[in-house]
Amino acid sequence: MNADVLVRCRAAARTYGTGPAAVVAVHGASCEIRAGDRIAITGPSGSGKSTLLHLLAALETPTSGKVTWPGLAQKPGPDTVGVVFQGPSLIPALDIAENTALPLILAGQPEPAARGRALDCLALVDAAHLADKLPEEISGGQAQRVAVARVLAAAPRLILADEPTGQLDQDTGSRVIDVLVATADALGAGLVVTTHDPHVAGRLSRQWSMHDGRLQPVPPVPQDARPPTRQGDGQ
């Protein structure tokens, strides 16, 4: 059952810096994420969650070990692996609709179609009214929702959301998780969400945790014990 493994880490580690100043952000992490997986990664600040997500997205290269993407035809790009970044990620000179449509336009979609899809995805996170604003004119929580909409618009096979509710109140955060899960279901995608919030973690079917750069052992889940997916995998 390798075909639906979107990403696999084999003892993947990432160290920043060298010598006495070196920081091991992630120690040999081993895990697999499949289409249909709904995984929360919890852990204190500085435990390596963002670094692990960046390894899964090929935004960082492991300093040892290996990360592979058996279920993707090629190395991840925005159309296959979507990342909701923890920090600000909108382009200041573009309005919110343009920011949301940008990955589609870069992928070659005609602008009107890209804009239409961007507006639909903004509406999913209650942000359609922000379409004509610039990033500097919206709040941190609104920017976080726009970053979610931008990833949904690209319809990736794997969604990696780094503390996507960190600046949202509980109700709004809950709605954003609903939208992420519903979109992942509709796409037959894998979904990984890092969070400090136990309510958010509880909304996902599996929980992993990180402490001091160590991903807690993830026992293999037998196929018949895996949570059911609504649409079937790989659609």
Q: CB of 123: closest distance to Mg ion in angstroms?
A: 28
By a kind-dependent CB cut-off of 5 to 8 A, residue 23 interacts, out of Mg ion, ligand ADP, none, with ligand ADP
Q: Are 97 and 132 in contact (CB under 8 A)?
A: yes
Which CB, 86 or 99, lies closer to Mg ion?
A: 86
Q: What is the dihedral of CA 185, 186, 191, 194, to 10 degrees?
A: -90
92: left (phi > 0), else alpha (psi -120 to 50), else beta? alpha
CB 12 within 8 A of CB 67: yes
Q: For ligand ADP, give the closer residue by CB, 18 or 45.
A: 45
Rounded to a whole number of angstroms, the minimum distance from the CB of residue 53 to Mg ion is 8
Pick the closer one to ligand ADP by CB: 47 or 229.
47
Give the residue among 151, 134, 221 at the shortest CA–CA distance from 187.
151
How far is C-alpha 201 from the geometric centre of its chain's CA atoms?
14
Residue 229 main-chain phi, psi, to 5 deg: -105, 150
Residue 43's binding partner out of ligand ADP, Mg ion, none, with CB under 5 to 8 Å set by partner kind: ligand ADP
Q: Which of residues 41-60 bind ligand ADP (CB under 6 A)?
A: 43, 45-51
Q: Which does 45 bind (CB under 5 to 8 A by kind): ligand ADP, Mg ion, none?
A: ligand ADP
- Binding positions for ligand ADP, 12-41, rule CB under 6 A: 16, 23, 25
Site for ligand ADP in 197-216 (CB under 6 A): none
Torsion angle in degrees (nearest 10) through CA of 7, 10, 14, 18: -150
In the complex, the smallest distance separating the C-beta of residue 8 from Mg ion, rounded to whole angstroms, is: 22
Euclidean distance between CA atoms 16 and 130, whole angstroms: 38
Out of Mg ion, ligand ADP, none, what residue 2 binds, judged by CB under 5 to 8 A for its kind, is none
Q: Which residues contact 213 (CB under 8 A, 6 or more apart)?
A: 24, 25, 26, 27, 47, 48, 51
Binding-residue total with ligand ADP (CB under 6 A): 11
The token pair at 30 is: 């081993």
Residue 203 contacts which entry, Mg ion, ligand ADP, none (Cβ below 5-8 A, type-dependent): none
HSE-up of 135 (CA within 13 Å, CB side)? Answer: 17
Q: Which amino acid is at 11?
A: A
> Could you list the residues that contact Mg ion (CB under 5 A)?
49-50, 86
Residue placing its CB nearer to ligand ADP in the complex, 50 or 100? 50
Nearer of residues 138 and 218 to ligand ADP, judged by Cβ:
218
**Residue nearer to ligand ADP on the CB measure, 38 or 49:** 49
| Residue the block writes with tokens 């509980």 | 170
Residues that bind ligand ADP (CB under 6 A): 16, 23, 25, 43, 45-51
